[in-house]
Amino acid sequence: MDKPSPKILAIAWGHIEIDGLGTGKDFKLFPGGGRAWDWNETGTRHKPGIQPADVEELISRGATTIILSRGMDLKLHVDQATLTFLEEKGITTHVAETKEAVSMYNKLAGNTPVGGLFHSTC
C-alpha cells in the first residue's frame, strides 16, 4: 500500500482530530490524506443521508474499503442508492455509529486502503 490512510487521533461531539490534517467537525478520509467534509457540496442532509457523490472521491483516491459514520446519535442516514453504488463497485462497506466507525477505520488504516466519512455530531 503506497499511501496509508491518516489515523483519527481523537473524536468528541463536534470535534475530530486527524493525524497530519488537524481538527474539524466532519471529515472525508482516504489513502494518502483527507479533507473537511462539506455536506453542501453534494446537498447531503440527515435524510435521505449520505449520497453516492459523497463517496465517489474516496473511491477515486484508492479506497477499497469504506467506513460510513452515522453520527453520534445515528441521525445521519445512508441513502440506499449509495449502498447499491458501493456494492456495484465491489467496495467493502461498513456503516456504524461514529465512535464505532472510528475504531473500525483506525484498525484498517495501517494495512488496508480505507476511506471514510465521519460526522461528529448527531
Residue 22 reports pLDDT greater than 80: yes
Predicted confidence (pLDDT) per residue in 48-65, tens digit: 999 999 999 999 999 999
Predicted confidence (pLDDT) per residue in 69-120, tens digit: 999 999 999 999 999 999 999 999 999 999 999 999 999 998 999 999 999 9
Name the grid cell of 50. 449520505
The model's pTM is 0.96
CA distance 41 to 53: 9
Contact between residue 5 and residue 109 where contact means Cβ atoms under 8 Å apart? yes
Predicted confidence (pLDDT) per residue in 93-103, tens digit: 999 999 999 99
Task: Give the number of other Cβ atoms within 10 Å of residue 121's Cβ.
Answer: 14
As beta bridge partners, residue 34 has 29
Strand blocks (E) in 19-110: 22-24, 26-30, 33-36, 65-69, 92-96
